[in-house]
Amino acid sequence: MVSGRMLHLRAPAKINLYLKVLGRRHDGYHELSTWMQKLTLADEITLAKAGAGIKLQCSGTDLAADETNLAYRAAVLFFAKTGLRSGVEIRLVKKIPVAAGLGGGSSDAAAVLTGLNTLLSAGLSEKELLEMGLSLGADVPFFVSGCSAAIATGIGEKLEEQDSLKGCWLVLVNPGFPVSTRWVFEDFDRLQPVNFTLTSGDNPYILGREIEGPLFARLFNDLERVTITRYPAVAKLKSKLTESGASGVLMTGSGPTVFGIFMDFDRAAQCAGNLQHDYPGKVFLTEPLSSS
């Protein structure tokens, strides 16, 4: 919602329904093929015009409110690229766990980029915003885009919009410790041949749009085995969600958050309630975000 000198935004979390590492490039980045879905779970961001400079207030987390924060860096990049002589005050309320595989930081950065473009009438095209987003992180273009769900390839910059999941609920469980995305990919590389290139018959383009059957049979994450090796709590969470009646269970991104897809709301709510006893404040009952 925009009102004069202020803009209120929601920065949604995401899950990866499919994540295949296709190879490592010479520049160190990884070629991926991943199906991402935005969720109703979201951080809350308020942007307010200021005379000059960037000020960030961040609550709900112990994240620093400086240039190490992606939301702050997005604002710095925006003003550098546009040359606008203005400033902004950013109020960020974190609802999405940090370093959890849910894309919270990337979503915050995307919200700041697109929000400043609207608030300051900068007139940047989506293509320009996508390019700026990619320089901040591989997941940022997905959040900049208007897609609720998409297949992302390359290093995350090539997006093909997909139908959003419907008629289901998701229980997310975060075991309460962060996992470094950089460490996961480095460890993944260590297990592979130098400059490896992987091919697979598990093509995400044929996952199917139906919530039943094909989707659950093809939930897949190449990074899961790396994270589980060091953090067996992730495997334990997968078992708990399966035992609670989830139709499909997977670790999202580089972890450690695990999600379970439920076709019945009451069963999902019961599962979330039960898990809150062991993981207080780390269990989230949410839904797929739909653009329709």
Catalytic machinery residues: 14, 139
Number of other residues whose CB lies within 10 A of the CB of residue 70: 20
Based on C-alpha coordinates, what's the Rg of the chain?
A: 19
Q: Find the DSSP H helices in 30-169.
A: 70-82, 104-119, 126-136, 140-144
Give the type of residue at 200. S
Q: Work out whether strand 283-286 and strand 220-221 pair parallel, antiparallel, or are unpaired.
A: unpaired
Integer Cα distance of 195 and 197 in angstroms: 7
Integer Cα distance of 134 and 144 in angstroms: 10
Q: Work out whether strand 149-154 and strand 30-50 pair parallel, antiparallel, or are unpaired.
A: antiparallel
Q: 243 CB contacts (<8 Å, ≥6 apart)?
A: none
**Which of 192, 250, 244 shows the shortest CA–CA distance to 36?**
250
Which two structure tokens, joined as six digits, stand for 52? 């000059």
**Which of 49, 55, 121 shows the shortest CA–CA distance to 82?**
121
Q: Per DSSP, what are the bridge partners of residue 158?
A: 153
**Which of 48, 9, 291, 268 shows the shortest CA–CA distance to 162?**
291
